């Protein structure tokens, strides 16, 4: 793996950070284009994207630290060492949703439309970041003897399921699916809920191949969170707003 992709003197450029920045840049560009098509202010949407990104990073780091709390209690200074990874998507999702709700409420933006507009680029950004995980050697899979196994763990040559690539490919499929679905939804906000459902299904499946500890004896924390998220999002799709079609 290549956690550091460039060294200039004592300065190191981390692959994970580069891919995270690239994901944001691609997402911000896509959102700006979508905003122009719908008639929203591109500057306003870009500002919103920045706030969502910052809050999502904070939420992702907080949840990751809480999950790995014993380690960080023994190494408190590493809590702020995020340049090479250590983020939880579920924490980032919660943080980003909260930031989006506050921002759209403050500036009186239509929350459902904004959520739907964001969803495909959220999936695309996720696909890019998971390539960063592969380069960084984190979020790796269990040891495997399949033909496509890779040494995906940092400083460990064991051949493993390349779960980072599984995640990236699944996210690209979700991205394409959301682009297809965006014009045939029943209500504003549905596309974002469908993103949560599709992400949760992928995550539940890939956790069987990921090197993750079981919580409660038979499920990982990622699988438990995915069940809750998928159930909540699917229920919302079916029950609210009871079949009304979306109108712009």
- pLDDT per residue over 150-168, tens digit each? 998 887 889 999 999 999 9
Q: What confidence score (pLDDT) does residue 205 get? A: 96
In-domain check, residue 115: yes
H or E segment at 99?
helix 89-106
pLDDT band for position 242 (cuts 50, 70, 90): low
Weakest mean pLDDT among 33-37, 75-79, 162-166, 230-234 = 75-79
State how many domains the chain has: 1
Please state whether 137 falls in left (phi above 0), alpha (psi between -120 and 50) or beta: left
Strand partners, 180: none
Residue 56 · residue 88 · CB < 8 Å: no
Q: What is the pTM of this model?
A: 0.90
The residue among 4 and 196 whose pLDDT is bigger is 196
Q: What confidence score (pLDDT) does residue 37 get? A: 86
Q: How big is the CA angle at 56 (ends 151 and 58), to the nearest 5 degrees? A: 90
Average pLDDT over residues 81-105: 87
pLDDT band for position 244 (cuts 50, 70, 90): low
What is the C-alpha radius of gyration for the chain, rounded to an integer number of angstroms? 19
Q: Could you give the angle at which helices 89-106 and 111-136 cross, rounded to 10 degrees?
A: 150
In-domain check, residue 193: no
Question: Is residue 50 over pLDDT 70?
Answer: yes
In-domain check, residue 173: yes
Q: What confidence score (pLDDT) does residue 77 get? A: 79
Q: What confidence score (pLDDT) does residue 241 get? A: 62
Residue from 20, 12, 245, 4 nearest 131 by CA:
20
Please state whether 139 falls in left (phi above 0), alpha (psi between -120 and 50) or beta: left
Question: Is residue 131 over pLDDT 90?
Answer: yes
Weakest mean pLDDT among 76-85, 102-111, 148-157, 174-183 = 76-85
In-domain check, residue 141: yes
In-domain check, residue 79: yes
In-domain check, residue 13: yes
CA-to-CA separations, 30 to 89, 98, 139, in angstroms, rounded: 21, 21, 27
In-domain check, residue 204: no
In-domain check, residue 93: yes
Residue 174 · residue 202 · CB < 8 Å: yes
Residue from 178, 79, 83, 66 nearest 127 by CA:
178
Q: What confidence score (pLDDT) does residue 36 get? A: 85
Q: What confidence score (pLDDT) does residue 83 get? A: 63
Q: What confidence score (pLDDT) does residue 228 get? A: 95
Q: What confidence score (pLDDT) does residue 217 get? A: 73
What is the extent of the structural domain holding 51? 4-187
CA-to-CA separations, 43 to 36, 39, 50, in angstroms, rounded: 10, 12, 11
Q: What confidence score (pLDDT) does residue 245 get? A: 53
């Amino acid at each position: 793996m290549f956690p550091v992709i460039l060294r200039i003197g004592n300065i190191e450029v981390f692959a994970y950070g580069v891919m995270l920045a690239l994901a944001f840049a691609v997402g911000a560009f896509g959102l700006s284009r979508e905003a122009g098509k719908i008639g929203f202010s591109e500057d306003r949407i870009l500002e919103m994207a920045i706030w969502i990104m910052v809050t999502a990073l904070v939420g992702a780091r907080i949840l990751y630290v809480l999950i790995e709390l014993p380690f960080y209690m023994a190494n408190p200074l590493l809590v702020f060492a995020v340049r090479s990874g250590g983020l939880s998507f579920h924490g980032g999702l919660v943080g980003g949703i909260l930031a989006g709700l506050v921002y759209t409420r403050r500036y009186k933006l239509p929350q459902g439309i904004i959520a739907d507009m964001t969803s495909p680029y959220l999936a695309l950004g996720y696909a890019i970041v998971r390539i960063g995980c592969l380069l960084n050697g984190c979020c790796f899979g269990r040891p495997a003897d399949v033909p496509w196994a890779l040494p995906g763990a940092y400083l460990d040559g064991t051949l493993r399921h390349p779960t980072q690539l599984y995640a990236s490919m699944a996210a690209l499929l979700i991205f394409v699916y959301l682009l297809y679905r965006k014009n045939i939804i029943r209500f504003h906000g549905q596309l974002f809920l469908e993103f949560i459902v599709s992400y949760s299904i992928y995550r539940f499946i890939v956790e069987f191949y990921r090197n993750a500890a079981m919580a409660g004896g038979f499920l990982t924390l990622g699988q438990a969170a995915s069940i809750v998220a998928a159930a909540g999002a699917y229920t919302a799709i079916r029950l609210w707003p009871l079949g009304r079609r979306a109108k712009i």
